Amino acid sequence: MITRRIRLAALAFLAAVAAGGQAFAADVQVAVAANFAEPAKAIAAAFKARTGNTAVLSFGSSGQFYGQIVHGAPFEVFLSADEERPKAAERDGFGVPGTRFTYAVGRLVLYSKTPGLVDARGAVLRGVKFDKLAIADPSAAPYGVAAVETLRRLGVYDAVRPRIVQGTSITQAYQFVDSGAAQLGFVALSQVINVPGGSRWLVPVGDHSPIVQQAILLFPGDKDPAARAFLAFLKTPEARAIIKKYGYELP
């Protein structure tokens, strides 16, 4: 009889906690690197289903976000496309020490909407079958840095440089290709993994520095349990499965 009462009391307590969690659901302000937009949306939906909290997502280049963070933008969580800016946030007093971790490793793709234009080795870059090559701005976007490193490794950077058009983020680089403004573009695998048709070359990981994407809790979120819960959720099997689904390598 006592055991049954204990079980009933425990069930009542858990129900109250769950109800309280929904009653006090909070918004979490998350700055998300543009390449991670689609998986972030899926993760945010799963996070809300699990916790009742809403991750309010803003998308842009990692460099632009870091500039905003330095100037007081009220983001609570930063999902960068590199490891340098989260490290800088921690070092310079904008990120909470000990909360930085790698949530994904990105892959770079040379993509065209034209079937057959991009070959399996990226040899199209040595030819004259394209007028414009889109990349993200290397000063603001790690995927732009990876694109330039790849071009240099292939020995074609100087030749194609006059044909390069830069997007402010990897999203704009993809838009250039998708709209036809550029025949080719270096984009994130996550952007085209579910896009049918066209042609693409998955750039070997050895052709550029690893695209190590790190997350960090920012000081505006230090006292926010929902912000900490979102970072913790990124490490769960459910979130990791979403990340892998979009073509990222897991740390």
What pLDDT shows up at residue 53? 98
What pLDDT shows up at residue 14? 36
Q: What is the pLDDT of residues 192-245, one digit of tens each?
A: 999 999 999 999 999 999 999 999 999 999 999 999 999 999 999 999 999 999
27: which strand partners? 54
* Parallel, antiparallel or unpaired: strands 54-60 and 27-33: parallel
CA 202 – CA 109 distance, rounded (Å):
5
CA 248 – CA 242 distance, rounded (Å):
9
Same domain for 89 and 170, yes or no, is no
What pLDDT shows up at residue 176? 98
User: Which distant-in-sequence residues (6+ apart) come within 8 Å of 84 by Cβ?
Assistant: none
208: left (phi over 0), alpha (psi -120 to 50) or beta: beta
Q: What's the whole-number mean pLDDT along residues 126-130?
A: 92
Say if residue 115's pLDDT is above 60.
yes
CA angle (143 as vertex; 138, 148 as ends), nearest 5: 55
Same domain for 226 and 190, yes or no, is no
Q: What's the whole-number mean pLDDT along residues 42-47?
A: 98
The total number of structural domains that make up the chain = 2
Residue type, 223: K
What pLDDT shows up at residue 1? 45
Edge-first strand listing for the sheet containing 27-33: 54-60, 27-33, 77-79, 211-217, 101-106
79: which strand partners? 32, 215
Question: Taking a C-beta distance cutoff of 8 angstroms, is the pair 169, 140 a contact?
Answer: yes
What pLDDT shows up at residue 21? 44
CA 56 – CA 121 distance, rounded (Å):
39
What pLDDT shows up at residue 24? 62
Helix axes of 225-234 and 237-245: crossing angle, nearest 10 degrees: 60
* Parallel, antiparallel or unpaired: strands 184-188 and 108-112: antiparallel
Q: Is residue 18 part of a domain?
A: no
Q: Is residue 1 part of a domain?
A: no
Q: Is residue 75 part of a domain?
A: yes
Same domain for 78 and 41, yes or no, is yes
Same domain for 95 and 215, yes or no, is yes
Q: Is the dihedral of CA 3, 8, 11, 13 positive or negative?
A: negative
Q: Which domain covers residue 100, as residue numbers?
A: 25-105+211-245
CA 188 – CA 197 distance, rounded (Å):
16
Q: What's the whole-number mean pLDDT along residues 98-123?
A: 97
Question: Taking a C-beta distance cutoff of 8 angstroms, is the pair 84, 196 a contact?
Answer: no
User: Which distant-in-sequence residues (6+ apart) come within 8 Å of 196 by Cβ?
Assistant: none
Looking at every residue in the chain, the average pLDDT score rounds to 92
Same domain for 135 and 116, yes or no, is yes
Question: Taking a C-beta distance cutoff of 8 angstroms, is the pair 33, 81 a contact?
Answer: yes
What pLDDT shows up at residue 131? 96
Same domain for 136 and 188, yes or no, is yes
Same domain for 82 and 114, yes or no, is no
Say if residue 148's pLDDT is above 90.
yes
CA 178 – CA 180 distance, rounded (Å):
6
Say if residue 15's pLDDT is above 60.
no
Say if residue 16's pLDDT is above 80.
no
Closest CA to 59 of 19, 96, 29, 90: 29
